[in-house]
């Protein structure tokens, strides 16, 4: 087993002044053997040493440096509290784990893996050796920290199905081992302005939409249980097609902003569906093919104004969006009369949430999709969620920079045909 120099992170200040000699030694770095040797060797001194080491390890304040003679090779930074080494036997054919990846953080080159409880900061001259598994000291360290696996071993099926990016996203966007990097940390507060609640309107032609009479609707709507039980994905499109009146009502009931409020850090929004932190980063865009009273084209729904803005997207781009999302239906069902693309103003949500911004967007999109399903069912329209869009196609059609806004989900909406069979009773039923 290699010997490592233990380093105390600077955050470990305060509360332990009574042991400043130990603290000082650890700030410069010392092996565990050196620490034991510099204590008096008495039981009380040793228990004191291990009491503090345990405490700092438990608070994730100890790093481990691997040295080869006078050359530092790497530093191990635990990502979970209470990390300890677990030596493992070298496999027959050692290879880097398929979940390992190398990246730059600040000036450092680091090796990480969603399966490892640590991050390894590699010294520049050790990068090649680490990847080639050519230095025994590094191999031993990578083995003990979960970066090496046996190329000859077959992966169990329940692990095999996890793709690299799925596992990384999952582990890094939840509190796995409480690495402290996930949550509403507002880490850009001093560097960037928060994005406003409402997206600035586009400059295209504006079409104000009619607002439904909500009192009347709440008298006429089918009961909740009938709507829930009657909800189905309906891919058939009925004739005559959807009307602008229906589309206006649908958009108002699902996406229109009910209220904005000044929060402590940023503007907050209320809609009928919930959103992490009340941020409401989702925008609604419409690829209209057939809608009575509305020209075919690509539109942004301004959810604060309850209005549509016609965008400059070409007919080809508009068609490609519907084709890409629902193209799998070809030959079985017609493409939807209207395709709604949900897009996230990602900087608005990432300004607050660290490590979980995109996770929150997807959860929010799920809440929006179910709301659209239920409203469409209550209105006796044909709804179907779609998870197949192309964000690059969308960004080109909307003329947005994909870092600012990116599409995350789609929803097909058409008039309901008789052939689709009954779901909920029509709104006028008692
Ligand atoms: C997130 C999500 C993505 C979906 N993506 C598609 C899709 O790409 N194409 C499609 O035809 N249906 C899609 N659906 C609809 C499902 O196939 C459907 O919900 C499922 O078959 C159950 O049928 P039901 O909705 O009638 O209960 C999606 C549903 C959800 C919730």
Whether residue 387 has its Cβ less than 6 Å from ligand 1? yes
Rounded to an integer, the average pLDDT of 373-381 is 98
Gap from CA of 411 to ligand 1 centroid (Å): 10
DSSP state of 292: B
Q: Which atom of ligand 1 is nearest to the CA of 388?
A: 8
Which stretch, 38-52, 69-83, 203-217, has highest mean pLDDT?
203-217
Nearest Cα residue to 338 out of 307, 299, 374, 370: 299
Specify whether 260 is located in the same domain as 168: no
Residue 188 counted as domain residue:
no
Gap from CA of 172 to ligand 1 centroid (Å): 27
Nearest CA to ligand 1 atom 19: 233
Boundaries of domain holding 152: 4-180
Provide the pLDDT confidence category of residue 13 given band limits of 50, 70 and 90: low
Gap from CA of 38 to ligand 1 centroid (Å): 66
Gap from CA of 231 to ligand 1 centroid (Å): 12
Lowest mean pLDDT among 181-185, 206-210, 346-350, 352-356: 181-185
User: For 135-194, what is each residue's pLDDT tens digit?
Assistant: 999 999 999 999 999 999 999 999 999 999 999 999 999 988 766 678 999 999 999 999
Residue 34 counted as domain residue:
yes
Nearest Cα residue to 307 out of 417, 158, 201, 223: 201
User: For 97-122, what is each residue's pLDDT tens digit?
Assistant: 999 999 999 999 999 999 999 999 99
Of residues 80 and 214, more confidence is placed in: 214
Whether residue 233 has its Cβ less than 6 Å from ligand 1? yes
Of residues 261 and 182, more confidence is placed in: 261
Residue 111 is predicted with a pLDDT of: 98
Specify whether 169 is located in the same domain as 225: no
Of 133, 163, 180, the domain-final residue: 180
**Half-sphere exposure at residue 295, Cβ-oriented, CA atoms within 13 angstroms:** 10
Specify whether 35 is located in the same domain as 73: yes
Of 132, 165, 180, the domain-final residue: 180
Residue 426 is predicted with a pLDDT of: 40
Whether residue 325 has its Cβ less than 6 Å from ligand 1? no
Q: Which atom of ligand 1 is nearest to the CA of 235?
A: 11
Residue 428 is predicted with a pLDDT of: 36
Q: Rounded to 5 degrees, what angle do the CA atoms 320, 322, 326 make?
A: 120
Specify whether 227 is located in the same domain as 107: no
The CATH number for 346's domain is: 3.40.109.10
Q: Which atom of ligand 1 is nearest to the CA of 365?
A: 1
Q: What sign has the CA pseudo-torsion 111, 113, 116, 119?
A: positive
Report whether pLDDT(367) > 50.
yes
Provide the pLDDT confidence category of residue 17 given band limits of 50, 70 and 90: low
Whether residue 327 has its Cβ less than 6 Å from ligand 1? no
Residue 292 is predicted with a pLDDT of: 98
Residue 410 counted as domain residue:
yes
Residue 107 counted as domain residue:
yes
Of residues 70 and 15, more confidence is placed in: 70
How big is the chain, counted in residues?
Answer: 430
Specify whether 255 is located in the same domain as 398: yes
Provide the pLDDT confidence category of residue 275 given band limits of 50, 70 and 90: very high
**Average confidence score pLDDT of the chain:** 92
Sequence-distant (≥ 6) Cβ neighbours of residue 65 within 8 angstroms:
4, 5, 6, 7, 29, 72, 74, 75, 76
Residue 252 counted as domain residue:
yes
Q: What percent of the chain has pLDDT over 90?
A: 79
DSSP state of 194: P
Specify whether 22 is located in the same domain as 170: yes
Residue 429 is predicted with a pLDDT of: 32
Residue 52 counted as domain residue:
yes
Whether residue 24 has its Cβ less than 6 Å from ligand 1? no
Specify whether 290 is located in the same domain as 146: no
Specify whether 101 is located in the same domain as 231: no
Rounded to an integer, the average pLDDT of 298-307 is 98
Specify whether 219 is located in the same domain as 344: yes
Gap from CA of 217 to ligand 1 centroid (Å): 27
Specify whether 169 is located in the same domain as 229: no
Nearest CA to ligand 1 atom 4: 386
Burial (CB < 10 A; 0-12, 13-18, 19+), residue 295, is exposed
Whether residue 372 has its Cβ less than 6 Å from ligand 1? no
Gap from CA of 382 to ligand 1 centroid (Å): 13
Residue 200 counted as domain residue:
no
Residue 344 is predicted with a pLDDT of: 98
Gap from CA of 386 to ligand 1 centroid (Å): 6
Specify whether 256 is located in the same domain as 326: yes
Gap from CA of 235 to ligand 1 centroid (Å): 10
* C-alpha distances out from residue 28 to 10, 110, 214, 296, 333, Å: 11, 22, 69, 69, 69
Nearest Cα residue to 133 out of 114, 117, 150, 155: 150
Nearest CA to ligand 1 atom 17: 233
Provide the pLDDT confidence category of residue 425 given band limits of 50, 70 and 90: very low
- How many whole angstroms separate alpha carbon 333 and alpha carbon 318? 19
Gap from CA of 373 to ligand 1 centroid (Å): 11
Residue 144 counted as domain residue:
yes
Nearest CA to ligand 1 atom 23: 233
Specify whether 58 is located in the same domain as 175: yes
Gap from CA of 65 to ligand 1 centroid (Å): 50
Residue 245 is predicted with a pLDDT of: 98
Of 164, 180, 196, the domain-final residue: 180
Number of domains in the chain: 2
Whether residue 386 has its Cβ less than 6 Å from ligand 1? yes
């Amino acid at each position: 087993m290699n010997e490592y120099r233990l380093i105390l992170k600077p955050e470990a200040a305060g509360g332990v002044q009574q042991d400043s000699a130990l603290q000082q030694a650890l700030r410069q770095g010392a092996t565990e053997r050196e620490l034991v040797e510099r204590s008096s060797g008495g039981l009380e001194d040793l228990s004191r040493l291990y009491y503090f080491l345990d405490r700092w390890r438990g608070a994730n304040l100890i790093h481990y440096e691997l040295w080869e003679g006078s050359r530092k090779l790497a530093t191990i930074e635990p990502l979970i509290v209470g990390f300890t080494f677990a030596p493992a036997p070298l496999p027959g054919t050692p290879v880097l784990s398929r979940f390992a990846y190398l990246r730059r953080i600040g000036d450092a080159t680091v090796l990480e893996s969603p399966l490892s409880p640590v991050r390894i900061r590699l010294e520049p001259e050790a990068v090649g050796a680490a990847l080639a598994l050519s230095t025994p000291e590094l191999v031993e360290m990578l083995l003990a920290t979960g970066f090496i696996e046996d190329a000859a071993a077959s992966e169990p099926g329940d692990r095999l199905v996890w793709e690299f990016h799925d596992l990384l996203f999952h582990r890094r966007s939840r509190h796995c081992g409480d690495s402290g990097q996930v949550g509403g940390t507002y880490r850009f507060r001093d560097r960037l302005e928060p994005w406003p609640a409402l997206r600035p309107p586009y400059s295209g032609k504006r079409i104000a939409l009619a607002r439904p009479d909500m009192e009347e609707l709440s008298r006429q709507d089918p009961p909740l249980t009938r709507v829930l039980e009657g909800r189905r994905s309906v891919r058939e499109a009925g004739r005559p097609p959807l009307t602008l009146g229906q589309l206006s009502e649908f958009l108002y009931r699902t996406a229109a902003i009910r209220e904005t409020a000044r929060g402590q850090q940023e503007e907050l929004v209320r809609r009928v569906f919930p959103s992490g932190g009340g941020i409401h980063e989702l925008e609604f865009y419409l690829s209209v093919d057939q809608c009575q009273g509305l020209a075919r084209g690509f539109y942004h729904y301004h959810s604060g104004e309850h209005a549509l803005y016609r965008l400059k997207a070409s007919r080809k781009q508009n068609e490609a969006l519907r084709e890409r999302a629902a193209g799998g239906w070809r030959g079985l069902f017609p493409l939807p009369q209207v395709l709604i693309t949900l897009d996230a103003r990602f900087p608005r949500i990432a300004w607050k949430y660290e490590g979980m911004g995109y996770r929150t967007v997807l959860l929010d999109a799920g809440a929006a999709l179910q709301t659209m399903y239920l409203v469409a069912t209550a209105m006796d329209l044909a709804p179907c969620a779609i998870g197949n869009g192309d964000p690059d196609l969308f960004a080109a059609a909307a003329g947005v920079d994909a870092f600012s806004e990116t599409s995350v989900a789609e929803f097909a909406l058409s008039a309901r045909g008789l052939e689709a069979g009954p779901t909920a009773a029509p709104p006028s039923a008692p």
